[in-house]
Copies of this chain bind each other. A is one copy, B any other.
Amino acid sequence: MKRIVIVEDEPFMRDELREIFEKAGYPVTCIEEYDQVTERILEAAPSLVLLDINLPGISGFEICRTLKRKTALPVLVLTSRDQMKDELHALDLGADEYLTKPCRKERLLARTANLLRRYEGRGHLRGGEGFLLDSQTYTLYIHDQSFVLPPNQGKLLAVFLAHPDELVTKEVLCTALWGTTEYIDENALQVNLTRLKKTMKELAMQQRIETVRGLGYRLAAEGATDEV
């Protein structure tokens, strides 16, 4: 079933939410430690994230932004901060829903179910700057158009999206393409990278693949230098 992750620091509220969703039949994971929140959330492999804004040490806004940048998970912001400014900010960051506490159980469940339905079948979408990639079929959505990438180009792009802004070694890329790091033909990887770069350029994508000589590659914003 569709797992829901709850990020809420107030214990009372958290338990109440857990109960509501468990009664409705969803498996629930609660986040209670706030370091590496994004990683913790992704570990739980949820279908939806319920997010508070006021959290100890970190802003829910930040989590929302990161999640939306890395994935295509539905994010429902549930907070007691009833300010138009916050609502606009959350929506601007790509939150799918903004509800204020207290919130009627029915409304919460209805919005949740609605979101889950709308994201149906889209569980394999990964997000990049200005585009989405279906990591199953390698269908690319960009500029209101869609294209199916050849499997190898899709696999490579998917790997880069799983490690945004990070360096990706050739070994990782080879493993993604052929499942093994043995007997890798460096050149075959080269060729596939070239082809991916070419289609990315043709589609005028906002990100490009940078070469880090001797180490590997990295997906970075168009025209970026290598800060960090």
Beta-carbon contact of B117 and A141 below 8 Å: no
A148 close to chain B: CB less than 8 A: yes
Beta-carbon contact of A146 and B134 below 8 Å: yes
The dominant DSSP class at the A interface is mixed
Partner of A136, one of B94, B96, B114, B145: B145
Contact residues of A between 90 and 127, Cβ < 8 Å to B: 91-92, 94-96, 104, 106-107, 110-111, 113-114, 117-118, 120-124
Beta-carbon contact of A145 and B121 below 8 Å: yes
A142 close to chain B: CB less than 8 A: yes
Minimum distance in angstroms from A131 CB to a CB of chain B: 7
The answer to whether residues A146 and B139 also contact, given A87-B110, A91-B110, A94-B114 and a CB cut-off of 8 A, is: yes
Minimum distance in angstroms from A150 CB to a CB of chain B: 11
Nearest B residue to A136, CB-CB: B146
The answer to whether residues A148 and B137 also contact, given A84-B106, A96-B118, A114-B94 and a CB cut-off of 8 A, is: yes
List of B residues within 8 angstroms of A106 by Cβ: 84, 88
- The interface size bin for chain A is 35 or more
Beta-carbon contact of A111 and B131 below 8 Å: no
A208-B87 Cα distance, complex, nearest whole Å:
44
Beta-carbon contact of A123 and B144 below 8 Å: yes
Beta-carbon contact of B146 and A137 below 8 Å: yes
Beta-carbon contact of B117 and A88 below 8 Å: no
List the 10 shortest-distance A-B pairs measured between CB atoms, nearest first: A121-B141, A139-B139, A91-B114, A91-B110, A137-B148, A137-B146, A136-B146, A88-B110, A123-B144, A137-B139
Residues of A within 8 A of B (CB): 84, 87-88, 91-92, 94-96, 104, 106-107, 110-111, 113-114, 117-118, 120-124, 131-132, 134, 136-137, 139, 141-148
